[in-house]
Structure 1
Amino acid sequence: MSRTYRTRLRLGLSATALLAATALVPVPAHAEAVTDYAITVDPDATGAAIGDTMYGVFFEDINRAADGGLYAELVQNRSFEYSTADNAAYTPLTSWTADGTAEAADDAGRLDDRNRTYLKLAAGSSVTNAGYNTGIRVERGKRYDFSVWARAEAGTTLTIGLKDAAGALAGARQVTAEGGWRKYTATLTATRTSNRGRLSVATTADAALDMVSLFPRDTYKGQPNGLRKDLAEKIAALDPGFVRFPGGCLVNTGSMEDYSEASGYQRKRAYQWKDTVGPVETRATNANFWGYNQSYGLGYYEYFRFAEDIGAMPLPVVPALVTGCGQNRATDDEALLQRHIQDTLDLIEFANGPAGSTWGKVRARMGHPEPFHLTHLAVGNEENLPEAFYARFAKFRAAIEAEYPDITVVSNSGPDDSGTTFDTAWRLNREGGVDLVDEHYYNSPEWFLQNNDRYDSYDRRGPEVFLGEYASQGNAWRNALSEAAYMTGLERNADIVKLASYAPLLANEDYVQWRPDLIWFNNRASWNSANYEVQKLFMNNTGDRVVPSTATTTPAVSGPITGAVGLSTWATSAAYDDVRVTAADGRSLFADDFSGDASRWTHSGAGSWSVQDGQYAQTDETAENTLVTVGDPAWQNYDLHVGATKKAGKEGFLVAFGVKDTGNYYWWNLGGWNNTRSAVEQAVDGGKSTLIDKAGSIETGRAYDIDVKVRGRQVTLYLDGEEWGSFTDDKPAEPFRQVVTEDVRTGDLIVKVVNAQDTSARTAVDLGGARVASRARVTTLAAGQDAVNTETDTPVTPVTSTFSGVAATFSYTFPANSVTFLRIRQR
């Protein structure tokens, strides 16, 4: 008797009814691996309401998401502001080529004090810009708007050209200077399509140039200083309920000082909204945390305008004067703190104030006299100093609520899903009665399959959750499947999880700092990741309330933790000695005191390992993950001992166990995250999850004894003979997940099923007596787990169909490795 048959009898269905329901599914023409499940829906029970802002998008200027990305400007380094402060390889002429004499200047003759560098171009000379990726992309017949700020004697002619290696791409245009700094414009119409265009400006007499710009006329919704159309349309197609901006790590890293003469015109400062509004030629540029320059042409006004254009709630994030993302500094300057608090109040006035108010007037002059209707604002991002953060957050919150009581002020819980920082932050947020807490985490697909129930046990009396950043560390279909499975748990807990957004949103394929990413692009095309297709399916079919339902699960398969052992470092030089692996019965499995060579160890490639003075030393202080391994992947129930000494560098030790290969292992990360924390992490197919997380650091020059005891699926860790922590890794990675919601407008029940395994899921569905139409609209995403969408191949694409076998009880076979939505009309 199948497990489904037994379950259906237990749920009160007769054998006859079950067989009739099952008969609705055609029998495959060939043998197919099938696992049996059952879903039972209770349409009369009360489920959580789902708000319109349940799902949104998070934008951060990472992976060239702004300049060279969503911001439609085609000229790179248009204001000659690139600097070694942004990137060691940068100069003011990066992306430019001069023919003749061209010299960058930073003197009193500049265009604007906040845009300090300009170009001096000698008579008869020209400069040419290479744009992004392979060049400037233009399309035949389309118009492009050129502009430049120039200072030259009256009568000087500036000639603007657009060409590639094959010749002209548009007819040349000329403008005549009138003396002093003035803005000049011209329109170029492309005569050919090219991905390798170059924009040139030549002068007949000495001239100064700044803000050399080329914009496609066809921006998203035709907005001036607008957005790249295809990228904006892909974001809009998600139908997001909110847009969180502008980050991310760039919000609260660097100096908190203003961009001013008094502060020495800081080039590495936290993102401050006032830098990003007003005419673009007066906006400051800044060193981006992710290693390049950001022009702020895409600024707070443009973010608010985009959110309005796509019908999404704007959700800006401001710095709390506690740095994050590994910097871990708190600013104690009370005057500076009060200035940032006032800046935040001014931001609310900029968004919501009347057109006659101080900052509402700035918004109105930019073209939007009506308010943007800001309702939520976040203070801080991923701070690793929770007490310092919360003390400052409380001051921001008090000031905002005193003046704007209708604004929801969002706090956060640090950079991880668990650990000391997370626990402390949540305690402070609960004690302070915070409304909404922003959680961030990036974990392995297995973690997402294991933790569907994460929010089931959250205190409904405490703060609600904004899941502001999450992803499963990859863009293959297996990653998207695991995220889809997890999203069923988010929806089931929509009474506590009020907002959720995958991150990051965008990646230019030639400028990648972070993977995974939702939408990929280059200068000519953009494409949806597999993860995007999952997000879009959920975001376009959310529903208005959860209809309670239950499902059977997959039989758990488990065994002891098995694997070899390993040593590694991360941006650190360290030496290891006296490595011993002993079986639980006392047999020696391996021992190495490095009195000879290290020939038994396998080096993964990174770092510089050698035997030195009876120790195995890794001496490259810049190399990351220098893993070396030894032993049998079948080892189980053993004790690992390692002696370790840090020699130099940023972090501490990485001691691995349960090593199957370079992408699947556990390791004890001692002194990680710039020597501020220690954790046990599990890697599955290269994606990591944190199992234990504590504050802690490693001293340079001190010898440590490290012991790991593995018994079955339980692991106990000892540091210098004292128990440091333990965990049991026995939570199943359930591949079959579901949730049911109701679309009140259409009356549809939306049955959402994720089958993240290589076998089909033959499922008996009981709609609990609901009266329904016999036909369902079906949307299916299915592919091999390794499938990845690219510019030229998109194996993960939604397929729509109709299923005619719907009844109060029916059966449906969900394909292997699939996400399936059934929209069933209620009568």
Structure 2
Amino acid sequence: MTHARVVAGLATGVLGVGLLAGLPTAQPAHAANTAAAAPAPLDYSVSVDTAATGPTIDPSMYGVFYEDINRAADGGLYAELVQNRSFEYSPTDNRSYTGLTSWTSSATAGGSGTAATVDDGARLGERNRTYLRLALTNPTGGTFGVSNSGYNTGIPLEAGKTYDFSVWARTDSTTGTPLTVTLRDAARTTAYASPVSVAVAGDTWRKYTGTFVASASTTSGRLAVEAGGTGTLRLDMISLFPRDTFKDRPNGLRKDLADKIAALHPGFVRFPGGCLVNTGSMDSYDAANAYPRARSYQWKDTIGPVEQRATNANFWGYNQSYGLGYYEYFQFAEDIGAQPVPVLPALVTGCGQNRATVDDALLQRHIQDALDLIEFANGPVTNEWGAKRAAMGHPAPFGLKRIAIGNEENLPDQYFANFVKFEAAIKAAHPDVTVISNSGPDDMGTTFDRLWDLNKAHGTAMLDEHYYNSPDWFLQNNKRYDTYDRQGPKVFLGEYASLDNKLRNSLAEAAYMTGLERNADVVKMASYAPLLSNIDYVQWKPDMIWFDNNASWGSTSYEVQKLFMNNVGNQVVPSTATGSVAQAKPITGAIGLSTWATAARFDDVTVTGADGGQLFADDFSGDASRWTPLAGRGSWSVQNGEYVQSDTGAQDTLVRAGDVSWHDYDLHLKATKTAGAEGFLIGFGVKDTGNYYWWNLGGWNNTQGAVEKAVGGAKQTLLAKPNSIETGRTYDITVKIRGGQVELYLDGALWGSFRDDAVTEPFAQVVTKDVARKQLIVKVVNAQAAPARTTIDLHGARVMGKAEMTVISGDPEAQNTRTAQPIAPVTSTVKGIDSTFTRTFDPNSVTFLRVQLK
């Protein structure tokens, strides 16, 4: 996962507006204003060379990327209903946390006592250190304890369903301590099941269990655990699971979410991240050779009996219990017929950080961890790690074939130096396992180019690319992989998405996917990202599947991904398309100034046309009336003949001047950083708050410069290189725009240049063959308002005269929500299919035609 402006103070990355619960659903296209004339059809033709053989498509072409982001695990795919079940939440992990987060004191019939979380010699285990201590002072008949509120609005229960309760407990009472466990509402007025009684005996830890059958349904239940008597009662790992989990597994997965993922029929599952993989990985081990509580994600902490697993801080700002661990990931991949693709830390941070280990012993330990992981997945039951797998219930190997090292590292040379050490050790011990490298966090730039150069020269088998861009970018880059070296590393597109959850985004992704398939000899795996998001705990959007505590729904991108993933085919059939071609457009727009967590001053702003005529000049000898605030943030004022933004806490303070129709001009100004974390941003081609270019100098905590393009609020990086801005130094800045060509000058020297005049191509197609079913799968994307009247020439192929057609279409602004899912596939049978036929594809549509061959 690209670490983008989710962490305060980093003017970086791309995080667009996404799906929000409760937004009004856009009307279908047919309900639009009928007074406006419908666009006339555009004519296209598709020529399919059915006699030729294209690239073979890898069986694992499309998969899913799972990261514990947006509460995807606890409160999500992991079916546990109790939040903070082991009392390990801590303010050192999240300032709002305590050991009793999600818990409140609870008493019945005058019961009394005190509740506190402690970490002492009576703990359950070294990786499960904090527990709940109840000092009971109950009168006769009274009970005292705690109540848990679960996730979202509360604990969801469904009438007639069975729920399994468990707790680890010990008591110093010689007569034992009775526990009463109830499911009820927050007001204590409604019970949702008959109480469960547990008799705790002895002052050593034991597991106690019970079963509820819900008598009523709710989305806001509470689990209360109350004890009678007196003395000290210790509780840990208080758990409530629905019996109805995916595949009915104990400690299992939430069924509706797992079913939606399984319905995709993914070829692989990439896990567990993402940014949480490499952050904290350089923390030292303690004297007992155990991993510390620190922020590192270590796979060995996530296996074995669940009560012995760690709870750890998650990179995305909350805690993760590791109840969903590596064993469960492997098991889930196997259950849905997908290859497991684990990602391990390379000891070089990414995701907006820049740090590399200098501890060779620590590096070697992580390399050994990678080897041990492969043994855990594939080894015989006679070795240490294979035996651990067998003890968890899976003596047969999981069949791991691919493993990735690292994620979005920002230090390419340091990362690559570590990668080759991992790769050498893995190849020596497991030559049949493919070791995957990566190309950093962007689709281009110095880090991307350097990592591709290093890996290509080295002969690396596969590189993991990541990018999140605007819909236009995807429509402009369908041919991205056409020019990749066929003899170079293969591509694993591990993370990509168009930055929103509307149909227009999904159409752009669909058009791009036709290019992935056409280049199946280069692109071996691809996964939209992220997979899951809890609507009440969002760190990143867009996402494929959304949910709350009792419902889930697929986004428009889920529907498109599902269509592609269930209709891949085995082989590409060469095809070409001709028809209406859009024209390149020049960069147009006004100018802008902005800062990000930084104070700065600006002066002597001039804009000169290509003919030398002056379009604009402001030396700030007067007021700032010619500048319009767009972001509505920051503190702007004219001071001593300069335009000053003085708020170092404000992020994105964009102001605009000039005419939005300007094109072919030179922008010149002076800028000085006066305080703060980053540098300044120089806008050009500025239209409004969501559509502009800016040259970000001193971004990413003053480590990198970049040109970012915003379209509809979604950003993409066009140019990036290392850069920092000195406080107090005045910089001379010039931006020259000619058509779609831009040159950037810093203190008179050319800093960088780029072109942005790629043509948006809304019509895309690819044809594949399903060998077993003897079918051609014609896939057409029409991401525009006009119908696409298309002649398809199969060059004499003998067909049955009809085809199964599946269409996804609608208003491009439509999105799926909890209450309405207007975007869904419609399947029908169409006739009139011959070796040459004409089909008019709906506006804003994805259409798959399964043509049966004789």
Category of TM-score, reference length = shorter chain? over 0.9
Of the candidates 618, 640, 646, which is equivalent to residue 645 of structure 2?
618
Q: What is the rounded CA distance, in whole Å, between the counterparts of 1:331 and 1:37 in structure 2? A: 55
**What amino acid is aligned across from residue 189 of structure 1 in structure 2?**
V
> 1:688-767 alignment to 2 at 5 Å?
688-767=715-794
Of the candidates 83, 96, 100, which is equivalent to residue 103 of structure 2?
96
**What amino acid is aligned across from residue 33 of structure 1 in structure 2?**
A
Contact 2:586–2:757 (Cα < 8 Å) also in 1: no
* C-alpha deviation, 1:188, in angstroms: 0.9
Q: What is the rounded CA distance, in whole Å, between the counterparts of 1:568 and 1:59 in structure 2? A: 35
Deviations 1:129-155 (A, max 9, x none): 110000000100001111111121352
SS of alignment partner, residue 595 of structure 1: coil
Q: What is the rounded CA distance, in whole Å, between the counterparts of 1:209 and 1:31 in structure 2? A: 67
SS of alignment partner, residue 122 of structure 1: strand
The equivalent of 1:53 in structure 2 is 60
* C-alpha deviation, 1:620, in angstroms: 3.2
Contact 1:259–1:275 (Cα < 8 Å) also in 2: no
The equivalent of 1:605 in structure 2 is 632
Of the candidates 289, 309, 327, which is equivalent to residue 315 of structure 2?
289
Deviations 1:516-562 (A, max 9, x none): 10000000100000011110000000000000000014322344321
Of the candidates 162, 181, 184, which is equivalent to residue 208 of structure 2?
184
Of the candidates 289, 310, 322, which is equivalent to residue 348 of structure 2?
322
The equivalent of 1:462 in structure 2 is 488
> 1:274-673 alignment to 2 at 5 Å?
274-603=300-629, 604-673=631-700
* C-alpha deviation, 1:32, in angstroms: 5.1
**What amino acid is aligned across from residue 213 of structure 1 in structure 2?**
S
**What amino acid is aligned across from residue 214 of structure 2 in structure 1?**
A
Deviations 1:775-799 (A, max 9, x none): 1100000011111110111111101
Residues 699 and 266 from structure 1, CA distance in 2 versus in 1: closer, same or farther, beyond 3 angstroms? farther
* C-alpha deviation, 1:86, in angstroms: 2.0
Residues 463 and 559 from structure 1, CA distance in 2 versus in 1: closer, same or farther, beyond 3 angstroms? closer
Residues 642 and 414 from structure 1, CA distance in 2 versus in 1: closer, same or farther, beyond 3 angstroms? same
Residues 421 and 708 from structure 1, CA distance in 2 versus in 1: closer, same or farther, beyond 3 angstroms? same
Q: What is the rounded CA distance, in whole Å, between the counterparts of 1:172 and 1:613 in structure 2? A: 74
Q: What is the rounded CA distance, in whole Å, between the counterparts of 1:32 and 1:804 in structure 2? A: 26
The equivalent of 1:770 in structure 2 is 797
Q: What is the rounded CA distance, in whole Å, between the counterparts of 1:273 and 1:689 in structure 2? A: 33
The equivalent of 1:13 in structure 2 is none
Runs of 5+ consecutive residues of structure 1 not aligned to the other structure: 1-29
The equivalent of 2:853 in structure 1 is 826
Segment of structure 1 superposing worse, 154-163 or 593-602: 593-602
Contact 1:81–1:117 (Cα < 8 Å) also in 2: yes
Aligned length: 798
Of the candidates 146, 156, 159, which is equivalent to residue 140 of structure 1?
159
* C-alpha deviation, 1:258, in angstroms: 5.8
Of the candidates 124, 134, 137, which is equivalent to residue 121 of structure 1?
134
SS of alignment partner, residue 776 of structure 2: strand
Contact 2:765–2:781 (Cα < 8 Å) also in 1: yes
Find out whether 1:791 has 2:818 as its counterpart.
yes
**What amino acid is aligned across from residue 360 of structure 1 in structure 2?**
G
Runs of 5+ consecutive residues of structure 2 not aligned to the other structure: 1-36, 107-112, 139-143
Q: What is the rounded CA distance, in whole Å, between the counterparts of 1:477 and 1:629 in structure 2? A: 31
* C-alpha deviation, 1:158, in angstroms: 1.1
* C-alpha deviation, 1:35, in angstroms: 0.5
Identity level (%): 67
Contact 1:413–1:425 (Cα < 8 Å) also in 2: yes
Contact 1:39–1:552 (Cα < 8 Å) also in 2: yes
* C-alpha deviation, 1:718, in angstroms: 0.6
The equivalent of 1:83 in structure 2 is 90
SS of alignment partner, residue 421 of structure 1: helix
Contact 1:85–1:267 (Cα < 8 Å) also in 2: no
* C-alpha deviation, 1:318, in angstroms: 0.4
The equivalent of 1:194 in structure 2 is 218
Q: TM-score, normalised by structure 1?
A: 0.95
* C-alpha deviation, 1:298, in angstroms: 0.5
Deviations 1:269-293 (A, max 9, x none): 2211001011111111111111111
Contact 1:554–1:735 (Cα < 8 Å) also in 2: no
**What amino acid is aligned across from residue 146 of structure 2 in structure 1?**
V
Contact 2:245–2:252 (Cα < 8 Å) also in 1: yes
Deviations 1:548-607 (A, max 9, x none): 000014322344321111112223232222222222233332222333332322222233
**What amino acid is aligned across from residue 115 of structure 1 in structure 2?**
N
The equivalent of 2:141 in structure 1 is none
SS of alignment partner, residue 278 of structure 2: coil
Contact 1:246–1:317 (Cα < 8 Å) also in 2: yes
Contact 2:556–2:815 (Cα < 8 Å) also in 1: yes
The structure, 1 or 2, with the larger RCO (C-alpha pairs under 8 Å, 6+ apart) is: 2
Contact 1:763–1:812 (Cα < 8 Å) also in 2: yes
Residues 261 and 143 from structure 1, CA distance in 2 versus in 1: closer, same or farther, beyond 3 angstroms? farther
**What amino acid is aligned across from residue 701 of structure 1 in structure 2?**
G
Segment of structure 1 superposing worse, 401-410 or 569-578: 569-578
Deviations 1:715-755 (A, max 9, x none): 11111111112222221010000000000010110000000
* C-alpha deviation, 1:259, in angstroms: 6.1
Q: What is the rounded CA distance, in whole Å, between the counterparts of 1:113 and 1:735 in structure 2? A: 57
* C-alpha deviation, 1:698, in angstroms: 1.6
Deviations 1:628-674 (A, max 9, x none): 11221111222112211222333222111101111111111112222
**What amino acid is aligned across from residue 420 of structure 1 in structure 2?**
T
Segment of structure 1 superposing worse, 536-545 or 587-596: 587-596
**What amino acid is aligned across from residue 161 of structure 1 in structure 2?**
T
Q: TM-score, normalised by structure 2?
A: 0.92
Please provide the CA RMSD for this pair.
Answer: 1.5
Contact 1:354–1:371 (Cα < 8 Å) also in 2: yes
Contact 2:775–2:851 (Cα < 8 Å) also in 1: yes
Contact 1:716–1:725 (Cα < 8 Å) also in 2: yes
* C-alpha deviation, 1:677, in angstroms: 1.8
